[in-house]
C-alpha cells in the first residue's frame, strides 16, 4: 500500500517549484492529484507526467468563484477531496518605505487571502464528501523571523501560520477529523529563489550570503518539502494538527 493510496489531493501553484514537486510525489505515493495554477502551459506539462492520476484546473487563488468551481470539478472527476496543499505564493522585494499600499495588498491577496479561501472552501468540500482530510499550508521561515526587504511577504506568511492553527482548532473542536498544519521552508532551489538572487543584480554574491545563513550549508531541494507534504497528507501524521514543520537547515535554530 502506497502512503497516500486512494486519496484525492489539490495543489495550488502546481506549475513549478515546490507545488510541482509535491504533486509528483503525491501521485507517486498513490494519490489522484489536481494541479492548479494561473500558468496553464507549465501546469499541464506537470499533469502530463502524472498520466491518469493527474488533472489540470485553472485556479487563481485570489478568486473565490474559481475556488468554488475548481473544487466542484475535483469532486466531479475524482469523487472526493482529502488533501489540500495551499502552496501558491509570491513576494515583492521592497522594504517598508519603498512598498506601495497596492503592492502590500497584492502580496497579502495571494499569500493570505488565497490560503483563507482554500481553507474555507476546502473544509466545506471535505465535509460534504465525508473526508477526514488534511490541509497543508506552505508558509515560510519568513513567517517566523523578519526580513528587512520582505515586509509584506513576512507579514502574510506569519498570518498563514496563525490561520493554520485557528483552522486546526476549529476543525478539531467541531469533530470534523480534518487536520491543518503549516510548513516553513528556508531557501529552496526554485524559480522564486533564483529571482530573489537575481534581484540585486549580484546573483553570486547574494547566493553566497543566503548560504551563509544556513548552518547545514546547503539550500533545500523541492523534494525536501514534497516529503513533508506527503507525510502531512498521509495518515502517518494523524495526530498532527495545528503544528508547524520547519525545514531550513537550522537557519532559525540560531
Ligand X SMILES: NC(=O)c1ccc[n+]([C@@H]2O[C@H](COP(=O)([O-])OP(=O)(O)OC[C@H]3O[C@@H](n4cnc5c(N)ncnc54)[C@H](O)[C@@H]3O)[C@@H](O)[C@H]2O)c1
Q: Which residues are catalytic?
A: 153
Contact assessment for residue 25 and residue 231, using Cβ atoms and an 8 Å cutoff: no
Check residue 111 and report its DSSP letter: I
**Residues at the interface with ligand X (CB under 6 A):** 12-13, 15-19, 37-39, 59-62, 87-90, 110, 114, 138, 140, 185, 187-188, 190-193
Choose between 60 and 170: whose C-beta lies nearer to ligand X.
Answer: 60
For residue 64, how far is the Cα from the chain centroid? 17
Nearest approach, Cβ of 122 to ligand X (angstroms)?
A: 15
Query: Minimum Å distance from CB 175 to ligand X?
Result: 30
Element holding 181 (H helix, E strand): strand 179-185
CB of 225 to ligand X, least distance (A): 7
Strands (E), 63-138: 83-86, 134-138
**Whose CA is closest to 237, among 118, 156, 147, 136?**
136
Q: What's the CA gap between 239 and 78, in Å, rounded?
A: 26
Beta carbons within 8 Å of 110's beta carbon, 6+ residues apart: 61, 62, 88, 89, 90, 156
Q: What is the DSSP string of 42-55?
A: HHHHHHHHHGGGEE
Smallest distance, Å, CB 81 to ligand X? 17
The alpha carbon dihedral of 194, 195, 197, 198 has a sign of positive
Nearer to ligand X, 72 or 235 (CB): 72
61 vs 168, which CB is nearer to ligand X? 61
User: Smallest gap, in angstroms, from Cβ of residue 33 to ligand X?
Assistant: 15
Q: Which is nearer to ligand X, 128 or 243 (CB)?
A: 243
Residue 214, phi then psi, degrees to nearest 5: -115, 105
Amino acid at each position: 500500500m502506497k502512503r497516500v493510496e486512494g486519496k484525492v489531493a489539490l495543489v495550488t501553484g502546481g506549475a513549478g517549484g515546490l507545488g510541482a514537486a509535491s504533486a509528483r510525489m503525491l501521485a507517486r505515493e498513490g494519490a489522484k492529484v489536481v494541479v492548479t495554477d494561473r500558468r496553464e502551459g507549465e501546469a499541464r506539462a506537470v499533469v502530463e507526467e502524472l498520466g491518469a492520476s493527474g488533472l489540470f484546473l485553472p485556479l487563481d487563488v485570489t478568486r473565490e468563484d474559481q475556488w468554488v468551481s475548481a473544487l466542484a470539478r475535483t469532486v466531479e472527476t475524482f469523487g472526493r477531496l482529502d488533501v489540500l496543499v495551499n502552496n501558491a505564493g509570491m513576494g515583492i522585494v521592497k522594504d517598508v518605505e519603498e512598498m506601495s499600499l497596492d503592492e502590500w495588498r497584492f502580496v497579502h491577496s495571494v499569500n493570505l487571502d488565497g490560503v483563507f479561501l482554500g481553507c474555507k472552501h476546502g473544509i466545506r468540500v471535505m465535509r460534504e464528501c465525508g473526508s477526514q482530510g488534511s490541509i497543508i499550508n506552505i508558509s515560510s521561515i519568513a513567517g517566523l523571523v523578519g526580513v528587512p526587504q520582505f515586509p509584506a511577504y513576512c507579514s502574510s506568511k506569519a498570518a498563514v501560520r496563525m490561520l493554520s492553527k485557528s483552522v486546526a482548532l476549529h476543525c478539531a473542536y467541531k469533530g470534523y477529523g480534518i487536520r491543518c498544519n503549516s510548513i516553513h521552508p528556508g531557501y529552496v532551489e526554485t524559480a522564486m529563489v533564483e529571482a530573489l538572487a537575481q534581484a540585486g543584480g549580484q546573483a553570486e554574491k547574494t547566493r553566497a550570503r543566503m548560504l551563509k545563513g544556513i548552518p547545514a550549508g546547503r539550500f533545500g531541494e523541492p523534494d525536501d518539502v514534497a516529503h513533508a507534504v506527503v507525510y502531512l497528507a498521509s495518515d502517518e501524521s494523524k495526530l498532527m494538527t495545528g503544528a508547524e514543520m520547519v525545514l531550513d537547515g537550522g537557519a532559525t535554530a540560531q
